[in-house]
Amino acid sequence: MIRIMTPDDYDAVHACWMACTGMGLNTIDDSREGITRYLQRNPTTCFVHEADDGAITGSILAGHDGRRRYIYHTAVNPERQHQGIGTALVNAALHALANEGIIKVALVAFAHNDAGNAFWQRLGFSARDDLTYRNKALREINRIDT
């Protein structure tokens, strides 16, 4: 079952992220506080997949600021991949974003994430070679290896 993600899902979602390699997590944005803040700002566009036994087996963070719209941290527990869960999560997020008037969605995938990039390609997300991604941390961020 696909349903809206809530802050109460954090522990299970974080465990799912940790089971997936190359998630690119950090200790600030992906902390309980960081995710709760994100869900408060985007209450209708983030989803989890809940198995029949109640276990969270996948999640997607998606949101917008009224102009820019992004997908973050799409993950499916490795034991449950290739069962349509990721596609269902993406479709739920895209539908929710469209309902909020969003017409175009972007995401960042690590270049070395071959499986992730193949997934996004299959879903019709094109790679852009005309952009240079840049960022600047305003405070120290510690990466979490997965």
Question: What are the tens digits of pLDDT across the range 35-57?
Answer: 999 999 999 999 999 999 999 99
Question: What are the tens digits of pLDDT across the range 105-136?
Answer: 999 998 888 989 999 999 999 999 998 888 88
The phi-psi region of residue 94 (left if phi > 0; otherwise alpha if psi is between -120 and 50; otherwise beta) is alpha
Domain boundaries defined on the chain:
2-140
Taking the C-alpha atoms of residue 60 and residue 90, their distance in angstroms, rounded to an integer, is 7
pLDDT of res. 146: 65
| Percentage above 70 pLDDT, the chain | 99
Question: What are the tens digits of pLDDT across the range 68-93?
Answer: 899 999 999 999 999 999 999 999 99
Name which residue leads in pLDDT, 142 or 79: 79
Taking the C-alpha atoms of residue 116 and residue 128, their distance in angstroms, rounded to an integer, is 15
pLDDT of res. 34: 97
pTM of the model: 0.93
Read off the tokens for 118: 């193949």
Reduced to 3 states (helix: H, G, I; strand: E, B; else coil), residue 74 is: strand
Q: Give CATH for domain 2-140.
A: 3.40.630.30
Extract long-range pairs of 18-23: CB within 8 Å, 24+ residues apart. 18/144, 18/146, 19/75, 19/77, 19/78, 19/146, 20/75, 20/76, 20/77, 20/78, 20/146, 21/146, 22/110, 22/112, 22/113, 22/116, 22/146, 23/73, 23/75, 23/144, 23/146
30 touches 144 (CB < 8 A): yes
107 touches 121 (CB < 8 A): no
63 touches 69 (CB < 8 A): yes
pLDDT of res. 139: 84
pLDDT band at 145 (very low <50, low <70, confident <90, very high): confident
Question: What are the tens digits of pLDDT across the range 8-35?
Answer: 999 999 999 999 988 889 999 999 999 9
Read off the tokens for 78: 């490795």
